[in-house]
Amino acid sequence: MRFISMFPIVAISLLLVACGKPAPETTQPAADAQSTQQASAKAEVPTFSAETFYNTVTLFGSSINHDGTAVLVTSDESGIFNVYSYPLDGSEPTQLTNSTTDAMMGVSWFPNDARMLYTADQGGNELNHLYVHREDGTTQDLTPGENLKAMFGGWHEDDMHFYVMTNERDNRYFDVYQYNAVDYSREMVFENNTGFNVDAISPNGRYMALSRTNSNADSDLFLVDLEAEAVEPQLITPTDGNVQHNAYTFTHDSSKLIYGTDGHGEFYQAWAYDMASEEHSEHFVADWDVSFLYFSDSGKYQVVGVNADASTELTITDTTTGSEVVLPEHPPGDLRGVNFSDDDTTMVFYVNSDVSPSNLMFWQVGSENVVQLTNTLAEGMEPEHLVHSQVIRYPSFDELSIPALLYKPHQASAENKVPAVIVIHGGPGGQARKGYSAMIQHLINHGYALLGVNNRGSSGYGKTFFHLDDQRHGEDDLQDIVYGKKYLQTLDWVDPDRIAVMGGSYGGYLTMAALAFTDEFDAGINIFGVTNWVRTLESIPPWWESFRQSLYDELGDPATDGERLRRISPLFHADNIKAPVLVVQGANDPRVLQVESDEMVEAIRANNVPVEYVLFDDEGHGFSSKANRIEAQEAYVNFLNTHLKQ
């Protein structure tokens, strides 16, 4: 696909999209086909090492090359993410980048030849540059410079130009440049001086959709006509009250902007804005959030993803007939990365499920078979060795129904109760979702029940649910975690006296809050989690400037809410922590600075409480190296074995 629609830049995984159905009454795990299959599985399954779980290959990216013969794929098969060309005839892939240190992520093939664009940062510092990889194997940094961040903005329909956003002029804001695909010369087409988010550029290059964040509940959409005498953003979504907007994409003929809004109910809907008539009309509506919407290059196919109770329901529509495209039989799971060749004869996509990592699929449109091009699960491991999650709901302290994903180990039973771990997603505003996770499945394989909680403030369950934790972090949402423990204690196959909590980023914060502000949990694992909100909010990266106010609305302004932020920051209450803690941190993390974890570990040690500290010198806010993921995973299970099983 030549033109790639953009989504707003988000900070600390802050998802400003809230969606979903009102939560039903409390439910126990359903006795459906999955649970029946799981119950009938052998109680004894092989126990696999962390290394085996991470021998699974992570794949993403689905740009199809100019002659429809290969897909541009990012893979960690080499031990760190690199870019590969995967032939559609099923032959062996070709590795195009050969990094051993920094993660390389494929972006797009060039429309008329075998060059490709890719992006990389330096050691996890999130200062990505955009590079071109030429046919002879040489590369060039298209966005050179220090302390800048660059993002690809899509192809012009003439195939001779593409767009790049960089913050090189002012590190707070992203300007837009049009690059020449032959000599890589460029010109600035939009100077961003007021913190707009660049959401989408029309295929003909005339229009640009911008969003402006007013608060964590309100944002506006603007349209820029780059051919007008005065290139000034024009507000196209005047609304009263708090309404969120973001652009999905433009139509193929550049006549309409398709955008998302929660102004018509609890959920994000897709609406169309006609440039000529300036009229708005409903485009695609579901009972849940419309997460994304885009078109094939020709406009023949429309792809829509709906966030349906922690899964993605994907619909492909033939726009010429209005009929839904029905795929032949393929492995079960969520579809991801759907893309079409220039002539719409070839479609590629990934299938991902709880028990299978993403596998690349190829379909000759109209044929009777889908061809699976990869087998990413580790050798010796089968899907039946792994565990499907079940969507459950439980009541919190105020009877609010909390959605969650429950994983029951094969060996668990009333006669063989197992310890449990509550896993808290990142955010604020993230979501525990179905799909393969080596971290989760490894812990389950080693005999731990897991509960992935979607506490109040999570995206996916309506804008009301999303905002219930605004400036209530470490309070009401923490009680949702505590009541998740109480739910686990009602299950006859869970040991009620051996329950831990763990999470990354914001989930790491709630983990430390659970240990500092309650005595409910027997151990905790904090993975690059916030422990001092004052410092974190004072040290946010400059390129998050457009979201600064939204973060303050969500969490508090350190200049005026310092007292409350200290009250909810675990670092200032470390003397309350009595349970053992494992802390994992990346030295290059620009979001949660290493000093936070250093101080937290020192404070816990001062209490004579067991604490382990794993520091990665070459990682940022997450893991790019497979070796580091394995080391961290081994630390998780060894820590839990020590403090929950002995």
Lowest-confidence region among 139-148, 304-313, 505-514, 556-565: 556-565
Q: Is residue 397 part of a domain?
A: yes
Whole-number mean pLDDT of the chain? 91
Write down the pLDDT at residue 623. 85
| C-alpha torsion sign, points 168, 170, 176, 178 | negative
Q: How many domains does the chain have?
A: 1
Angle at 403 between CA 402 and CA 409, to 5 degrees: 120
Query: Contact, 110 vs 98, CB < 8 A?
Result: no
The reported pLDDT for the residue numbered 485 is 98
For residue 279, what are its two tokens? Answer: 């009229």
Pull the structure tokens for residue 216.
């964590």
Among left, alpha and beta (phi > 0; psi -120 to 50; other), residue 364 is beta
Token readout for 186 is 């460029």
In a domain, 306, yes or no: no
Residue 490 class from Cβ within 10 Å (0-12 exposed, 13-18 middle, 19+ buried)? exposed
Q: Is residue 473 part of a domain?
A: yes
pLDDT band at 23 (very low <50, low <70, confident <90, very high): very low
70 domain residue, yes or no: no
Preceding peptide of 496 cis, ω within 30°: no
Residue 541: pLDDT above 90? no
Whether 431 contacts 63, CB under 8 Å:
no
Q: Please tell me which of 343-347, 621-625, 642-646 the model is most confident about, judged by mean pLDDT.
A: 343-347
Region 48-75: mean pLDDT is: 96
Query: Looking at the predicted structure, is the pLDDT value of residue 548 above 70?
Result: yes
Q: Judge whether 225 and 236 are in contact, CB under 8 Å.
A: no
**What average pLDDT score do residues 90-116 get?**
97
How does pLDDT run across 221-241, given as a tens digit for each residue? Answer: 999 999 988 889 999 999 989
Whether 507 is in a domain gets the answer yes
Q: Is residue 41 very low, low, confident or very high in pLDDT (cuts 50, 70, 90)?
A: very low
- For the segment 524-529, the average pLDDT, to the nearest whole number, is 96
The two beta strands, 311-318 and 323-324, are: antiparallel
- The helix, strand and coil proportions of the chain, stated in percent and rounded to the nearest 5, come to 20, 35, 50
Q: What is the pLDDT of residues 380-390, one digit of tens each?
A: 999 999 999 99
- 441-452 residue pLDDT tens: 999 999 999 999
Q: Which of 84-98, 282-296, 545-559, 621-635 bottoms out in mean pLDDT, i.e. has the lowest?
A: 545-559
Q: Which residue has the higher pLDDT, 555 or 92?
A: 92
The pLDDT tens digits for 350-372 are: 999 999 999 999 999 999 999 99
Q: Which residue from 446, 447, 451 is spatially nearest to 486, judged by alpha carbons?
A: 451
| Residue 273, beta-bridge partner list | 257, 280
Does pLDDT of 484 surpass 70? yes
pLDDT above 60 for 13: no
Nearest partner of 501 among 412, 391, 579, judged by Cα: 579
Mean pLDDT throughout 96-115? 97
φ and ψ at residue 45, rounded to 5 degrees: -125, 155
The predicted-structure confidence for 399-420, as pLDDT tens digits, reads as follows 999 999 999 999 999 999 999 9
CA 631 to CA 615: how far, in whole Å?
A: 11
3-state secondary structure 439-497: HHHHHHHCCCEEEEECCCCCCCCEHHHHHHHCCCCCCHHHHHHHHHHHHHCCCCCEEEE
Tell me what pLDDT residue 499 has: 98
* Length of the chain measured in residues: 646
- Residue 195 forms part of a structural domain: no
pLDDT band per the 50, 70, 90 thresholds, residue 590: confident
| pLDDT for res 338 | 97
The number of CA neighbours under 13 Å toward the Cβ of 108 is: 23
pLDDT given at position 42: 46
Domain presence at residue 27: no
What pLDDT is recorded for position 275? 95
Going by their DSSP bridges, the two strands 449-453 and 401-407 should be labelled as antiparallel
> What is the mean pLDDT of the segment spanning 91-118?
97
Decide: 173 and 210 in contact? Cβ < 8 Å.
no
For residue 138, what are its two tokens?
Answer: 């040489």
> What are 301-332's pLDDT values in tens digits?
999 999 999 999 999 999 999 999 999 999 99
CATH of the domain at 483: 3.40.50.1820
> Can you tell me whether residue 598 is helix, strand or coil?
helix
Of 153, 158, 167, 234, the C-alpha closest to 195 is 167
Among 171, 134, 174, CA closest to 153? 174
Residue 152 lies in a domain: no
- pLDDT band of residue 43 (cuts 50, 70, 90) is low
Average pLDDT over residues 138-165: 97
* DSSP bridge pairs for 311: 308
Q: Are 643 and 500 in contact (CB under 8 A)?
A: yes
Paired tokens of 573: 């209450």
Please, which residues have CB within 8 angstroms of residue 497's CB and are 6 or more apart in sequence? 522
160-212 pLDDT, tens digit per residue, is: 999 999 999 999 999 999 999 999 999 999 999 988 999 999 999 999 999 99
First-to-last alpha carbon distance for the chain, in angstroms, is 54
Predicted TM-score (pTM) of this structure: 0.90
**Among 35-44, 278-287, 519-528, 545-554, which stretch is predicted with the lowest mean pLDDT?**
35-44
Structural domain boundaries, residue 570: 387-644
